[in-house]
Structure formats: C-alpha cells, structure tokens
Amino acid sequence: MIPAASAAPARSDQARPVGARDLWVTLGCLLALVLWDFSGADRAVGGWFGNAQGFAWRSHFLTATVVHEGGRLLAWATLLSLLVCAVRQPVAVGVGVASTPQRAERLFWFAVTLGCLLLIPTIKRFSATSCPWDMAEFGGSAHAVSHWLWGVPDGGPGHCFPSGHAVGAFAFLSQYFLWRPHRAGRARAWLVIVLVAGCVFGLGQLARGAHPVSHTAWSAWLCWTTCVLASAWRTRRSRSGA
C-alpha cells in the first residue's frame, strides 16, 4: 500500500486554503452519509447478497480469506512499515530535504493512524447495532434499528457499527495528510490507494453480510475527520510558533 515517490514537490499548506477545502469535503460527505442512512438503501443493497438462508459469500475463500484475513495482514504489514519509516532519519533522493517529512511530522501522523485504528473499535464496543447476518430477514434474530438510536438494542449481539475491517484501510488516510505539504503526487497516490482498498474491504464485508454500506462509509468519514482535525491542530500550532 506504499506508493512510489513523486518528484514534484507540492505547494505548502499556507499557499492554498486546504483547511477550508477539508471542511467542505467533510461536511459534504457527512450530508451524503446522513441522506444514505435515512434512505433505507442499506437494506436494499444487502438484499443483493443475502436472503432468508443467509449470505452465500459469508465463508467464501475470496471474501473470508483473501479480502478479510488477507486485508488484515496487509494492514498490519503497512502499519509496521510506517513505524519503521517514522523512526528512521529521512533520506531525500533528488528532490531535497524540504520535500521529505521530518521525523517529528512522520511520528505525529503515525500516531494519528493509531488513533484511527483505536477509535473505530472503541465505538463498536459501545454500539448496540448488529451485523446484517444477525438480522431476521437474513436468518438471524435481530430486527432493524437505526444506528442513530444509540443504545437501543435490536435483539442481536450488537457491536457491529461502524466497520472495523474497513479501518484497516481508511486509517492510512493519515499518509495523504502527511505527504500533502511535501509531494502532491505521493499524497494523491496514497489517497487513491487507501480509498480503493477501503472500498474493496467494504465490498468484501458487504458480500459476507458482516457490514452494510453505511458501516464502511462511516468508518471512512470518521478516519477522514480525525485526520482533518489533526491537520487543523498541527497547522494552528505551527502558526502560533509552538
């Protein structure tokens, strides 16, 4: 998941209103998510993959082994590689030291990655929302209750919202924010790869009946918003001379 370097350095954050752009993207995605939640589309899309007998792809090799277990191993390997990159001295090749994040910055965004990886499981721990494969319409015992009704049980085991597997991709949105002030090409590559990986992870879990579309989308939004807040805090701290 680590893309090749781009030789063209990006303009600094101060040269363009990235904070305002981040805010509009965050709010726009939030509105889209709310509209999706209240449209009832989750249940309709879930019906494409499951029926009263359950989900045919639940234990399939492609979804359960390749996408789920393989994706988990890929996430751990990426996290480990980022840790190694974060603690070592930066090495600039042909583009200058200014285009390479220094150790403190890399460690900061590694910590943000860990924050995302911890945030989603923490929310899941307190969620009363059950997974699609636990729903009565798919052979389970739970009934549909919106995850907006926090703490209201649905008759199932709960602890399914948002998607914990998807965060194995979306937590690495932090690397887009790390590289954005330094190398625009590398930042965009990280963004595309992470979004594609997150969609693949989400589709695999959707087909298995583990998570509806909204669970994956909310994981993405929460990770993105965490990174936006971290970026805003870091920019403000930098400008204040702290």
- Mean of pLDDT values over 160-187: 96
Asked if pLDDT for residue 213 goes beyond 60, the answer is: yes
Nearest to 166 by CA among 229, 109, 124, 106: 124
Going by pLDDT thresholds of 50, 70 and 90, the confidence category of residue 242 is low
Asked if pLDDT for residue 212 goes beyond 80, the answer is: yes
C-alpha triplet 219, 224, 229: angle, nearest 5°: 130
Going by pLDDT thresholds of 50, 70 and 90, the confidence category of residue 134 is very high
Residue type (1 letter), 83? L
Query: Which of 10-24, 51-65, 162-176 comes out lowest in average pLDDT?
Result: 10-24
Q: What is the pLDDT of residues 53-99, one digit of tens each?
A: 999 999 999 999 999 999 999 999 999 999 999 998 665 544 444 57
- Mean of pLDDT values over 225-240: 90
The tokens for 176 are 């887009």
User: Which pLDDT belongs to residue 26?
Assistant: 97
Asked if pLDDT for residue 221 goes beyond 90, the answer is: yes
Burial of 185 (0-12, 13-18, 19+ CB in 10 A): middle
User: Which pLDDT belongs to residue 238?
Assistant: 77
C-alpha triplet 191, 172, 235: angle, nearest 5°: 80
Q: Would you say the pTM of this structure is higher than 0.85?
A: yes
Residues in the chain: 242
Going by pLDDT thresholds of 50, 70 and 90, the confidence category of residue 1 is very low
The tokens for 198 are 């997150």
Going by pLDDT thresholds of 50, 70 and 90, the confidence category of residue 237 is confident
**What is the C-alpha to C-alpha distance for residues 165 and 124, in angstroms, rounded to an integer?**
11
Output 223 or 88, whichever has higher pLDDT.
223
